[in-house]
Structure 1
Amino acid sequence: MATQATGAAAVPRPAGLGGALGLSPGARKALARFGWALVSVGLFTAIWELLWLLGWADPKLLPPPHIFLGNIPDQARFFNTATRWQIGVNPADGPSPYEAVFITIGATAMRVFAGLAIAAVLSISIGVLVRYFGIFEKLVLPTITLLSPVSPIAWLPVAIFIFGIGNAPAIFMVVVALFFHMVLSTISQIDNVSRNFINVARTMGATKRQIYTRVIIPAILPQLLIVLRLNLFGAWMVVLVAESTGVGFGLGQVIMMARNTFNPSLVFFTIALIGLLGFLSDWLLRLIQKRVLFWVPETAGVLRGL
């Protein structure tokens, strides 16, 4: 039994399943989150299945999960997009269906994380330089503000003109989708750093470079990582559009093939994969955030019980 202090007395509180299994508090918290995630997804799936059972969802247009997830080998055979349409190549050649799924997932994830890393490094560096050098701000910030409202989809022809067909245009699209907003977010976070921190650093004799490296950048990292996590979902959206133009193979290519062949089951199967990958990507970034920002306490949910 665990205890919870209430005034001067300690009231026993049930330890729960995690406590009964002898898990640490961190492991129990992770287990609880995983359990609620399963409940959330299960509730959504149950509603979808109920609509199908009542006849309100056409299985030919909106197949329920038990249909498009019930025959994974049949769905996996469509993922071999690299050799399926090549002239003179047997569609049966190349990787097996399951290997093709993992190759396709790996290719798309590589483009997302490569673009995410490039955009993060460039945007944070330029955002800091904009505030560090006054002349740099005058030369660069107006152009960034001008291009920021442009939709990433509008850059697709430019990406194809410059890089042709391959991985480069997809990565470029991800970079463009994140870069401008992250630069403006970096500048905004720098402007919002408490002046008390900067004044204390100056009182202690810190130079301008030391103020930026020891005070400003550590102060803005928590919010920048949150912005990076939020933009991660946008990166997944943009890379699918880029892949649909003929990258060669990727989840975007599978979606386009499913649309052209009117295969709703394949569409929803691929959507389920993308959702799972986005969830796992966000989980991975949260783990990185905890490791990098070790000095920031976890305060989420503090006011829920009030």
Structure 2
Amino acid sequence: MATQATGVATVPRPAASLPAGLTLRNRQVLAKLGWGVVSVGLFVGIWEVLWLIGWADPKLLPPPHVFLGNIPDQARFFNTATRWQIGVNPADGPSPYEAVAITIGATSMRVFVGLAIAAVLSITIGVLIRYFGIFEKLVLPTITLLSPVSPIAWLPVAIFIFGIGNAPAIFMVVVALFFHMVLSTISQIDNVSRNFINVARTMGATKRQIYSRVIIPAILPQLLIVLRLNLFGAWMVVLVAESTGVGFGLGQVIMMARNTFNPSLVFFTIALIGLLGFLSDWLLRILQKRLLYWVPDTGGVLRGL
């Protein structure tokens, strides 16, 4: 029923436009999932068509139905921890599916441990740089100097310091994220609205209270977005680090597939890495909403359409 509150008739959205029990939020989630399936399906369909008409060599670019159609056969290659040890039967150790789970868990552990260490260190050092003038003069030039260096260049340093194992892979993830996040933290602090700081000063807040109650809560939303974007870089770097001698990991599987010229295993592992990266980003989105409960979820300008 129309209402006449300010001279303009307002017609409420009819309740029958949504199915029973399906909220607007659920409909949006289903729409995103549907479009995601369509997007991936379109990519897979084009790949399959190129294979069907003979433009994609199945020996070099096997179509998805080939490397995804026989998962047990692909999973048996994931037992990299005992496969190349002298005097050890390759059939010993975990089953193929257990080996896949162990490999995924090991690589994910390195990514998230490195991500957590990099986040804590970079935000802390970024805040200290702006909090203490002498600390900025001593530290910021070095960070600016080292930030353009590719993380891959740090790989020999990681091996020299930590040897072979989990530590160099975690170190590579930390290095890949640290410098960029320090500079992002400084940039976000500089962009905090001066009105917030002036109001806090008017209310008698000290410098420490301004940083802890105003500046840090103001920069956390953007920093978590930067962290999510750097997550994909962390997955790239950890694969390179794992290929240098870690006992088991997705990087080792990729390296073994390259050395044995097994393109099906390469693309199967690539698809697995893509799925893990998507799930990692989804988990960080949930964490962002839980931690930043004071930030409104606008959902974009088209949410109400």
TM-score, length-scaled by structure 1: 0.94
The 5 A counterparts of 1:117-196 are 117-196=116-195
Aligned residue type for 2:265: L
Cα distance in 2 for partners of 1:8, 1:98 equals: 59
Correspondence 1:85 to 2:57: no
Aligned residue type for 1:208: K
Correspondence 1:63 to 2:62: yes
For 2:3, the equivalent position in structure 1 comes to none
Aligned residue type for 1:225: L
The 5 A counterparts of 1:9-28 are 9-12=11-14, 15-16=17-18, 19-20=19-20, 22-28=21-27
The 5 A counterparts of 1:97-112 are 97-112=96-111
For 2:237, the equivalent position in structure 1 comes to 238
Q: Secondary structure at the match of 2:12?
A: strand
For 2:250, the equivalent position in structure 1 comes to 251
- Comparing 262-271 and 53-62, the one that deviates more: 53-62
Q: Secondary structure at the match of 2:14?
A: strand
Cα distance in 2 for partners of 1:29, 1:66 equals: 30
Aligned residue type for 1:93: D
Pair 1:303–1:233, CA change in 2 (3 A) = same
Pair 1:96–1:15, CA change in 2 (3 A) = farther
For 2:50, the equivalent position in structure 1 comes to 51
Shift in Å, 1:7: 5.5
Shift in Å, 1:36: 1.8
- Aligned residues: percent identity? 87
Shift in Å, 1:14: 5.8
Aligned residue type for 1:175: V
For 1:210, the equivalent position in structure 2 comes to 209
Q: Secondary structure at the match of 1:10?
A: coil
Aligned residue type for 2:11: A
Aligned residue type for 2:219: I
Pair 1:56–1:171, CA change in 2 (3 A) = same
Structure 2: runs of 5 or more not aligned: 1-7
Once the two structures are superposed, residues 18-45 of structure 1 have per-residue CA deviations (whole angstroms, 9 ceiling, x without a partner) of x34x144433332222222111111111
Pair 1:159–1:195, CA change in 2 (3 A) = same
Cα distance in 1 for partners of 2:297, 2:51 equals: 41
- Comparing 42-51 and 271-280, the one that deviates more: 42-51
For 1:285, the equivalent position in structure 2 comes to 284
For 2:4, the equivalent position in structure 1 comes to none
Once the two structures are superposed, residues 48-70 of structure 1 have per-residue CA deviations (whole angstroms, 9 ceiling, x without a partner) of 11111111111111111000000
For 2:94, the equivalent position in structure 1 comes to 95
The number of residues matched between the two structures is 298
TM-score, length-scaled by structure 2: 0.94
Pair 1:15–1:90, CA change in 2 (3 A) = farther
Once the two structures are superposed, residues 101-152 of structure 1 have per-residue CA deviations (whole angstroms, 9 ceiling, x without a partner) of 0000000000000000000000000000000000100100000000000000
Query: Which of structure 1's runs of 4+ aligned residues deviate more than 6 A?
Result: none
Cα distance in 1 for partners of 2:201, 2:140 equals: 27
For 1:3, the equivalent position in structure 2 comes to none
Shift in Å, 1:300: 4.1
Cα distance in 1 for partners of 2:31, 2:9 equals: 27
Shift in Å, 1:10: 3.1
- Comparing 30-39 and 235-244, the one that deviates more: 30-39
Q: Secondary structure at the match of 1:285?
A: helix
Aligned residue type for 2:170: I
Aligned alpha-carbon RMSD (Å) = 1.6
Cα distance in 2 for partners of 1:76, 1:91 equals: 13
Shift in Å, 1:226: 0.3
Cα distance in 2 for partners of 1:57, 1:48 equals: 8
Pair 1:155–1:14, CA change in 2 (3 A) = farther
- Comparing 25-34 and 133-142, the one that deviates more: 25-34
Structure 1: runs of 5 or more not aligned: 1-5
Shift in Å, 1:295: 1.5
Cα distance in 2 for partners of 1:279, 1:260 equals: 28
For 1:8, the equivalent position in structure 2 comes to 10
Cα distance in 1 for partners of 2:279, 2:32 equals: 13
